[in-house]
Amino acid sequence: MIKKEKIIMDLDVGVDDAMSLIMGMLDPKFDIKLITTIFGNVGLKQATKNTCWLVQNYGDKDYPIYMGAERGLNTPLHSATEVHGKTGLGKTIVAKNVTKKVSNKPNYGAIEAMRDCINKYPNEITIVSVGPTTNVAKLLTTYPEVVSKIKRIVLMVGSLDGKGSVTPYSSFNAHCDPDAVNIIISHKVPIIISTKEMGTTAYFEDDLRNELKQYGRYGELIYHLCNGYKDSILEVGQYAVHDTCALYSILDTDFFTREKVDMTINVSNDEKRGQTKFVPNPNSHITVLKTVDKKKVLAYIANLIKKNAKK
């Protein structure tokens, strides 16, 4: 019997978010209890539409989707349409004929749904946040009673080398809301940080992209998502798997090396806003991924898609 990790996926869909959602839905090692959306790669409305489209057309069940924050706590709105295409799913795919609706009710959105999910499964839920981290910060500050019941939080944020992608110092998700990251890391919940280096090391290229295309509709989806997708620090034809690395960080595998660290993020309004720093501390509640085994991650992805070729 496979031990399933119960997760909440918090997404700003986005090409690599879409890939990570597919991996989360297909992999029997994950049990997605809730999907929440956030502004980021595209605006909140488009990110939510993309998420609904993916679940409607590629979901193995009708996952609940709740819409979250439309901007950061204290930061002007940013997006990354130059990386993910105008509507977030690359140049070929456009989310249309979306009938799946979000589950928001008055005064009940993403953070309330997160709260109730954590209360339903105390100490079992991992929040996998792969966009700006505003929803998670709001959850912790608005409903502090759930903090001790969260198994762990994964953030796809920051860089090991202190260099950025959007600015010389800040990676995208950190740049969108550094204050939110700062709030989260001050809470003594087990936290895993997957930095930009993981996704830009474990990129794939056209040989794998073409191979995946032969493995049924999920492979075809990934193939098409890659059209027009280019991380700002990679070359054309290199496809970063940032958000999938973050998701895989909770699997019991040797895909990554890890280190316990103290983490800081620059929240001042100078040019280094959003820059992260990591200092080893074996007693810390924060673990950072240090290296990634690109071959193993890509083989795992390819195998999962291949296994589901007939679905």
Q: Would you tell me which residues interact with Ca ion (CB under 5 A)?
A: 12, 14, 17, 130-131, 243
Q: Which is nearer to Ca ion, 12 or 179 (CB)?
A: 12
24 vs 284 by CB, closer to Ca ion: 24
CB of 221 to Ca ion, least distance (A): 17
* Residue among 8 and 146 whose Cβ is closer to Ca ion: 8
Minimum distance, C-beta of residue 2 to Ca ion, in the bound complex (Å): 26
Q: Nearest-5° angle of CA 304, CA 57, CA 249? A: 40
- Tell me which residue of 120, 159, 138, 201 sits closest to 10, measured CA to CA: 138
The two tokens of residue 25 are: 């839905």
81 vs 303, which CB is nearer to Ca ion? 81
User: Cα separation of 253 and 257, whole Å?
Assistant: 10
> Using CA atoms, how far apart are residues 132 and 114, in angstroms rounded to an integer?
16
Cα 47 to Cα 5: distance, rounded to the nearest angstrom: 25
CB of 48 to Ca ion, least distance (A): 14
CA 243 to chain centre: 4
**Shortest Å, Cβ 225 to Ca ion:** 13
Cβ atoms < 10 Å from Cβ of 78: 17
For Ca ion, the closer of residues 172 and 278 by Cβ is: 172
- Sequence-ordered list of residues with C-beta below 8 angstroms from that of 235, at least 6 positions apart, any chain: none
In the bound complex, what is the minimum distance in angstroms from residue 42's beta carbon to Ca ion?
Answer: 10
Closer by beta carbon to Ca ion, 7 or else 146: 7
Q: Pull the structure tokens for residue 97.
A: 């004929």
Cβ atoms 240, 200 nearer than 8 A: yes
Q: Read off φ and ψ for residue 172, nearest 5 degrees.
A: -60, -55
128 touches 246 (CB < 8 A): yes
- Quote the least distance from Cβ 192 to Ca ion, whole Å: 16
Q: Which is nearer to Ca ion, 5 or 17 (CB)?
A: 17
Shortest distance in whole angstroms from residue 12 CB to Ca ion: 5
Element (H, E) at 196: helix 196-201
Give 17 or 27: the residue with its C-beta nearer to Ca ion.
Answer: 17
Give CB contacts under 8 A, 24+ apart, made by 116-123. 117/8, 117/33, 117/34, 118/146, 118/149, 118/150, 119/146, 119/149, 120/33, 121/6, 121/33, 122/149, 123/149, 123/150, 123/151
CB of 105 to Ca ion, least distance (A): 26
